[in-house]
Structure 1
Amino acid sequence: MIRITTLLSGHGLAALSTLARNLVLARILGPQDYGVAVALVVVIAAAELTTTLGLPQQIVSHKHGAGRQFQATLHTVQIARGLLGAGIILLTATPLANVLGAPDAAPILRTAALVPTILGFIHLDPFRAQRHRRHLPQILVLAVPPMVCVLAIWPMSGWQDGPSLMLDLLLVQAFMSVAISHLIAVRPYRLKFHMSQIQQVLRYGLPLAANGILMFAVLHAEKLIAGAGLGLVEMGVLAMGFTLTLTPALIMARSFQAFYLPKLRNEREQVLGLAMMLGASLSVVLTTLVPLCLPVLGAGFGGLAELIPILSCLAALRLPKSALATVALAEGCTNLPAVANLPRVLGTPLVWLALGWGGDVKTLLVIATTAEVAGVGLGILISRTKQLPVRATAIAALVGVLVLSGQHGLAIFACGIGWMLYAFSPTPFLTRRTT
């Protein structure tokens, strides 16, 4: 209980700090400039997700992850990854600015290449502590930099304005991440080029990089399509909607993976049914609480209110997908997350066509939610689960329908009944495959 509380508090502080930063910047910048700031975050996310190799996860789950030589090899790969990410930003900055109808933003987007370059020098030793169920070092690396970033908004806004303020804050956060990782590391920072180990890293990580490309499409393609088809204002509004609903979902999903991944290396554990119930509960909580944040953003973001129910259900689907991915990663099966994200990616051309035919943001979200449901179903099929959480799945589906139809009271009641059934007669819902 102490460990999961530490994880939730750490990931929660990191994500809530990012949420606070975005809320304050949205209020300061307004929808138009906030749209450019979102483009800045998106281009950095492109570098991060398309080059991801699961290096922190490899330190935890790889059989040689505790070795000094393997860790030094991971540091070398991390530097190369940062430089590759910087190159991706430099290549895509100008085309992205032109697609969004903001060519003046190209220089600031190119400058964002400094962020992955800096993060390439992060020390991975704090993540190694998870092998021994010690999560505090990792939490410090994840949580302290965004908290400092929030505190830096007020002094930095005195001499910087517009989207450049977001870039400066991201650079501060990157420097802090690297500095803290080195300060709390137990082992000295070393680099090593060991070809056989690099090949092992790539065999594990390249499917995750493929999934990272898909995850970029899942998390950001719809924003870019909205920006290109509807304008930067709509892009800023949609991005804020994703931020308000996805932030809690990602807190839970990342904590879920960080807590269960070390356990699943050695133990059987049932996680999918729990994730289903957590997702259903999350959709109810988000639909109830997120509208309370909208007055803080100002009148420019007023259109978000009608989108919150569907955004909440879309975010809640991250929990079962995270459960499936965690079990797969623990078994060294790194292709499942990519396959489960395919429906969402394949839905993006439909989003583009729908907007071209006069659709709006709600149309975009309906297509995205349908594709995400298909992704969860596909993930369950290819995971070859021996026992499906029929009860938890049915309750989660019922709660989703009630949330989308505006029946909040009934949705809360259904969640309560579901948790009672789960507590008194839990259904086995996912076991690790045995060979």
Structure 2
Amino acid sequence: MKVIDNPHSGLGRSATRGGLVVLGGQGVRILVQVASVVVLSRLLSPRDYGLVAMVLAVIAFAEIFRDLGLSTAAVQAKVLTRVQQSNLWWLNTGIGAALALIAVAVAPLIAALYDEPALTSLTIAMAGMFWLNGMAAQYRADLTRRMLFTRLVAADTAGPLLALGVAAYAAANGAGYWALVVQQLVQSAAGLVVAGACAGWLPGWPRRGGEIGGFLRFGWSLASTQLINYAANNIDSVLIGTRLGAHQLGTYNRAWQLLMTPLGQLRSPTTTVALPVLSRIRDNAALTQRFVERGQLALGYSLGAGLGLVAGAAVPVCALFLGPGWDVAGVFALLACGGLFQTLAYVGYWVYLAHGLTTELRHYTLVASALKVICILVGVRYGITGVAAGYAIAHLLEWPLSLWWLSRRTQLHVGRLYLGAARILLVAGSVAAAAYATAAALHGLNPAVTVPVCVLAGIAAYAVMLLVPSIRRDVISLAETVRGAIEDRLSRG
């Protein structure tokens, strides 16, 4: 029976090379995402976005059950046979098909929840995403497990590129919110085709010999955690949609799509790279400690600094990318602050998954989610800006809690993670202050001029922070690691 595993040698270099490849691909996806926001925001109304966001909130909920955590279970498993892989493929596909039928049946109820009759046909049309994503799940898991990151990037970028072209054409020809529906369906279909072709295998028929009980136990525990996390992460959209209406939800959704979706696209690949590596070194506490510390620094000095920049320059950034009629700068800046603290805590998620601590992760997620729901329930009384403030405050409070909780369940020494995070916050705060001061000084100028100047001011502030010895050591060390990985990759052709 064939076993699908990877060699264990050279994991550090493999992780760095894989990270560069995946981040490069995510850079393309982010450009596509930003282009989608820029183009479609000028062709569609806030209400169009609000209606589709209402359906996506429900679909995202059901997507948790569609995957059932089986993709992650397959990636982190010590041994995965071809028979087990095929059985998992059929299970994901079957669940996806069942959920598609359920979505069609409950479409009128979703329309009634938001008091929007148009949601019935929208939900029925988008139900096909469950089936398509179900078939793609194990192909993507296989590419991740085998660390075939170049192929994974191809699968992740082909769909969004094609979908944007189709959606822009549809929107320009008066399709309205249906352009966004087509975008979602085309992206899922293209992602399935490319992922299947890159994986290079077809599933066999389900067989009894491929025991998947362990995968189901791991996956169900992880899925229950994701379900809790979903409720907390989407309470903002549900509350805005039911209390404030489609127009306000569409406005909030534009700020979210411009910032948080690209941020998620940047962070998600780090799990793709980190999970198979940490799964293999989980019995080596010292190596795990070093990997997690460097992972936090890599995220913080890149994404954290970027979030500081866009928070400080929120007004010209929103004016440049969204155009007139989208008053979301305050929401955008607050979401950036929340995203910064969320990013600092992100490395803990890698450790929970790699060590199979799904029960402990669920317990922490319950506490953190309750905190987030409370903050957003208070914030919604003050409109979408209040919701964004609640989101930011929740993540500010969750960040130290997450590291403390992790220290109780693993051998990680989180004191060093706190110190690393403090240095990251110093850099991000300095960049944000420089960008804000520059934006205020250039108020009234064309945002196409103001934004590049704010970027230069942020870079200057970052350079000044390098005068701090500990920060300089961090950045030089990370730069040397990246340079070594690039040289190694070039030497391999």
How do residues 143-222 of structure 1 correspond to structure 2 at under 5 angstroms?
A: 143-157=157-171, 161-194=175-208, 197-222=211-236
User: 1:370 aligned to 2:393?
Assistant: yes
- TM-aligned CA distance change 1:306 to 1:368, over 3 Å: closer
Number of the residue aligned with 2:264: 250
Q: Which amino acid aligns with 1:68?
A: R
Aligned 8 A contact 1:340 1:375 in 2: no
User: 1:321 aligned to 2:348?
Assistant: no
Aligned 8 A contact 1:47 1:88 in 2: no
Aligned 8 A contact 2:103 2:127 in 1: yes
SS at match of 1:149: helix
Aligned 8 A contact 2:74 2:215 in 1: no
Number of the residue aligned with 1:89: 103
Number of the residue aligned with 2:471: 419
Aligned 8 A contact 1:149 1:173 in 2: yes
User: 1:381 aligned to 2:404?
Assistant: yes
Q: Deviations over 1:231-253 (max 9, x none)?
A: 21111111111111113321321
Deviation at 1:151, TM superposition (A): 1.7
Aligned 8 A contact 2:155 2:194 in 1: yes
1:351 aligns with one of 372, 376, 394: 376
- TM-aligned CA distance change 1:307 to 1:372, over 3 Å: same
How do residues 268-307 of structure 1 correspond to structure 2 at under 5 angstroms?
A: 268-269=287-288, 270-272=291-293, 273-274=296-297, 275-287=299-311, 291-301=316-326, 303-307=327-331
Aligned 8 A contact 2:71 2:137 in 1: no
Aligned 8 A contact 1:325 1:336 in 2: no
Aligned 8 A contact 1:222 1:351 in 2: yes
Q: Unaligned stretches of 5+ in structure 1?
A: 427-435
Aligned 8 A contact 2:375 2:394 in 1: no
Aligned 8 A contact 2:49 2:250 in 1: yes
User: 1:49 aligned to 2:64?
Assistant: yes
Number of the residue aligned with 1:431: none
* Equivalent residue pairs, number: 422
Number of the residue aligned with 1:37: 52
Deviation at 1:116, TM superposition (A): 0.5
Q: Distance in 1 between matches of 2:362 and 2:40?
A: 33
Q: Distance in 2 between matches of 1:46 and 1:345?
A: 17
User: 1:24 aligned to 2:76?
Assistant: no
Number of the residue aligned with 2:482: none
Deviation at 1:406, TM superposition (A): 8.2
Q: Which amino acid aligns with 1:281?
A: A
- TM-aligned CA distance change 1:84 to 1:324, over 3 Å: farther
Q: Which amino acid aligns with 1:152?
A: V
Q: Which amino acid aligns with 2:369?
A: R
Aligned 8 A contact 2:309 2:432 in 1: no
- TM-aligned CA distance change 1:215 to 1:172, over 3 Å: same
User: 1:62 aligned to 2:62?
Assistant: no
Aligned 8 A contact 2:41 2:322 in 1: yes
Q: 1-10 or 402-411, which moves further after superposition?
A: 402-411
Q: Percent identity?
A: 19
- TM-aligned CA distance change 1:56 to 1:194, over 3 Å: same
Q: Which amino acid aligns with 1:419?
A: I
Deviation at 1:352, TM superposition (A): 3.3
Aligned 8 A contact 2:52 2:122 in 1: no
1:232 aligns with one of 239, 246, 251: 246
Deviation at 1:408, TM superposition (A): 4.4
Q: Distance in 2 between matches of 1:220 and 1:380?
A: 23
Deviation at 1:110, TM superposition (A): 2.6
Deviation at 1:141, TM superposition (A): 1.8
User: 1:72 aligned to 2:86?
Assistant: yes
Number of the residue aligned with 1:429: none
Looking at CA atoms only, which structure, 1 or 2, has the larger radius of gyration?
2
Deviation at 1:119, TM superposition (A): 2.2
SS at match of 2:136: coil
Deviation at 1:42, TM superposition (A): 2.2
Number of the residue aligned with 1:105: 119
2:423 aligns with one of 395, 400, 409: 395
Q: Distance in 1 between matches of 2:308 and 2:387?
A: 21
Aligned 8 A contact 1:51 1:212 in 2: no
SS at match of 1:248: helix
Question: What TM-score, normalized to structure 1?
Answer: 0.85
- TM-aligned CA distance change 1:252 to 1:297, over 3 Å: closer
SS at match of 1:45: helix
Q: 366-375 or 239-248, which moves further after superposition?
A: 366-375
Q: Distance in 2 between matches of 1:199 and 1:415?
A: 51
- TM-aligned CA distance change 1:75 to 1:97, over 3 Å: same
